Structure 1
Amino acid sequence: MAIFGNLRDMPFPDLVAMLGRRSGVLEVFGLPGKRQGYAVALDGGKVVWVREGNRLLEPLEARSALQELLRLQEGAFEFTPGIPPAGEAALGWPLERLLLTMTTVVDEIQSHQSFLPDPKTRFQAAALEVWLEEPLWSFWERAKPLLQGGASAEDLAARLRLPLDEVRYYLYKLRLAGKVVPVRAYEETRKNEEKRGLFRRLLAALRGRGGGGRGGGR
């Protein structure tokens, strides 16, 4: 039997708690400012896939969609129980546990607003190798090709189809980890390295000339 309702009466976290470990497809629609709603396939309480309209979302987009649902207070939902149709790749995320970590991320985005980079600041990928946890690793893997040539939060949000504040938060975390630097800082560092390299070459050349002169005099 299908379950109907409205997010005003039953917010998404409460809805997830009610569904527990059921299997089926949860559709959320009539969302403010969006033409298309989301469909979340559940198998025993685990997320199998997430769709926006007819488009299957990649893992990073799926996380972002679930975070959006977590914040929404308007919209209708319908849950149809049953074995959901298989997606291209099952995510296998325990939804209740995932929402707990997402709540932390949402809170951090709000509390770090004053530290988040300007949307137009361009960042460059750095060569530092450090361990990154999810979902920061997934964001890094998708954003890295764009960051190689420099990209702003606005650029990345548009290209990766992610909310702007979420991208700003990821860039903030990546900068703390040393994985990205602002383009201006990157260019200044590179120029300094080039200057140091030129100085070393000139010094080596001068030493070589000096050594050659002494050898010739003997």
Structure 2
Amino acid sequence: MIDEGRLDDSDHGPAARSADPAGDAARKFADLLGERGVRVDGPVEEGRAPASARRIAAVSSAPLAELVERALTNSDNDIAEALARQTALADGQPASFDGAGRAVTARLEKLGLPTGGLRDRGRQWSRPLRPRLRRPAGTPPGARVGRARPRVAPRPDRAAGGGVQRDAAGERYQEADGRGLVRAKTGTLTGVNTLAGTVVAADGRLLAFAFMADGTSDPEGAQRALDRLAVGVAAVR
């Protein structure tokens, strides 16, 4: 897709989307080839190069760690969904919601993380899992976590929010006591608000936390309450 299929100038959040993002990308690519003197015959969506074709150029995506970082920093659900389905393919599962769920759960288990009670949308998450998910992100490259060695671990200070990075919640903790101390990621569903991350406590310790508000009717109020909790952790001695 091109620009995540967005039809405006936005780079995150809700937006009008293309009904055929893959087709749009193929047609744009064909147009660019044509501008450079390369003829494209037939429907571009169905085009295939002959076996004798010679590769003249190739394009790769950004490294996986950068994709994870952008997904976290921008609360980018498109990238998160693509990463989940790629995880499914890597585990021999179908690239579907169910396949992604099974593959991600299997990866968590390989890391020795508790997955009991891990469910889909609208159901309970494993409470011990949330704060322990932060540990692999804070582990030095190559170090073992549980029974496995993480291959990709975004830096803890790259999590959105906390006055360090922005996410869909905007600038967070800019005027609060947690500025520069709280590095956290929001999570939002209908009636559910979460905040998980790390904080440098008043005594200098690096602490991991995870808060969840369920059954909320005021998402902004719930998020403000979670922010106050995170700032409270920063005051721990």
- Per the TM superposition, whether the score is higher than 0.5 is no
By relative contact order (CA 8 Å, sep 6+), the higher-ranking structure is: 1
TM interval, shorter chain, is: under 0.3
Structure with bigger strand share is 1
Q: What TM-score do the two structures reach when normalised by structure 2?
A: 0.25
What is the TM-score when the length of structure 1 is the normalising length? 0.26
Q: Which has the larger radius of gyration?
A: 1
